[in-house]
Amino acid sequence: MDFTAKIYIAGHRGLVGSAIKRKLEKSGYTNLTCRTSQELDLTDQRGVKEYFALEKPDYVFLAAARVGGIQANSNFPADFIYQNLAIQNNVIHEAYRYEVKKLLFIGSSCIYPKFAPQPMQEDCLLTGPLESTNEPYAVAKIAGIKMCQAYNRQYGTNFIPVMPTNLYGPNDNFDLDSAHVLPALIRKFHEAKIQNKPEVEIWGTGRPRREFLYVDDLAEASVFLMRHYNCQNTGPLINIGTGEDLTIKQLAEMISDIIGYSGTMKYNPDRPDGTPRKLLDVSRAQRLGWQAKTPLAEGIKKTYAWYTENLPDRG
Ligand code: GFB
């Protein structure tokens, strides 16, 4: 990827897209093209066509998506499947029509079956039923993978499907109704600390296990794959994670310690646990030469610092 190549980052203000933009800028890429969702609605087929006709990017990072935690997925299943399918269809198809050299499609670890053998290898895709709390989102992401592979096979494109584990970091969503667990707990413990609340509610039993990747590590992997990996024909998808997981209870204790909250945690089993475990097998990415760098405690400290600097009115 030439340093002056035109690179489109779809979703450049979100958690993933903003990290990819930071990484590209830091690495010396000078010709980035971005649009906010107000400027370009990626679910609008005509708008996306016009954008590609005008900008004709050489490379595309497809990080735009409707995402959210377990509650948002349950409340808005239609939005999650419709918006993600529409965004993917429009961007992937126009990337093909305008002869984009490479496209990197950001998927999710929830594409794998609920009871897949752990750690989950890329080959376990479509080998069993999905987790019900996020099935519409997962089906959309699976369609995106299959679309990349079908276009590669039929049209000779070089579209790379990448499956990150649960992500966190700067620019995450801290809204308690729609956030993922890690930013939600940062906010809950922070607010409880400054308001001297005696307890913090943790959803579910605390027993599910999750793997968390600092988003700058995903950005590094994404740029690395764009530069060094080719996914022609039926080339496989690639998992990106740390290869390590912990229980939600352990995560809550870690965040509480980092924030310095001294109250108690109250588990609410009326809230869903979701999938019992989703740990990625990251050996394929490691064989290609990439490995996660940021230890979880360090990533949480950085994210908490970002939260207090950027959302100071909270609490
Ligand atoms: O991060 P999360 O919302 O989504 O929840 P998933 C992970 C676990 O943390 C669940 C528990 O067992 C939650 O019950 N949890 C505890 C909490 N306290 C909280 C809280 O305050 N907020 C939230 N949100 N959870 C999502 C999928 O699944 O993962 C998406 O729904 C996507 O589609 C994403 O794949 C990466 O890890 O269960």
In a domain, 14, yes or no: yes
How many percent of the chain have pLDDT more than 90? Answer: 96
The pLDDT value given to residue 280: 98
Pairing of strands 238-240, 159-164: parallel
Whole-number Cα distances in Å, 248 to 41, 59, 197, 203, 209: 35, 37, 21, 9, 6
Contact 133 CB / ligand 1 (< 6 Å): yes
Number of independent structural domains in the chain: 1
Between the CA of 175 and the centroid of ligand 1 the distance, in Å, is 13
pLDDT tens readout for residues 73-131: 999 999 999 999 999 999 999 999 999 999 999 999 999 999 999 999 999 999 999 99
Residue 89 lies in a domain: yes
Protein residue with its CA nearest to atom 6 in ligand 1: 70
- Is residue 67 domain-resident? yes
Q: What is the CATH number of the domain that holds 99?
A: 3.40.50.720
> Is the distance from CB of 205 to CB of 267 less than 8 angstroms?
yes
User: Lowest-confidence range among 119-133, 207-221, 232-246?
Assistant: 232-246
**Of ligand 1's atoms, which has the minimum distance to the CA of residue 69?**
3
The answer to the question of residue 19 being in a domain is: yes
pTM of the model: 0.96
Rounded distance from Cα 70 to ligand 1 centre (Å): 4
Residue 82 covered by a domain: yes
Looking at 137, 168, 261, 304, which residue is catalytic?
A: 137
Let me know if 137 is a catalytic residue. yes
160-179 confidence digits (pLDDT tens): 999 999 999 999 999 999 99
CA distances from 122 to 108, 145, 168, 231, 240 (A): 11, 11, 22, 14, 10
68 lies in a domain?
yes
Cβ atoms within 10 Å, residue 129: 9
| Domain residue limits at 288 | 7-168+212-244+279-294
Distance 69 CA to ligand 1 centre (A): 5
Are the CB atoms for 27 and 80 separated by under 8 Å? no
Using the mean position of ligand 1's atoms as its centre, give its distance from the Cα of residue 210 in Å: 9
167 CA closest ligand 1 atom index: 36
Residue 271 belongs to some domain of the structure: no
Binning pLDDT at 50, 70 and 90, where does residue 315 land? very low
Tokens of 62: 């497809």
Residue 11 lies in a domain: yes
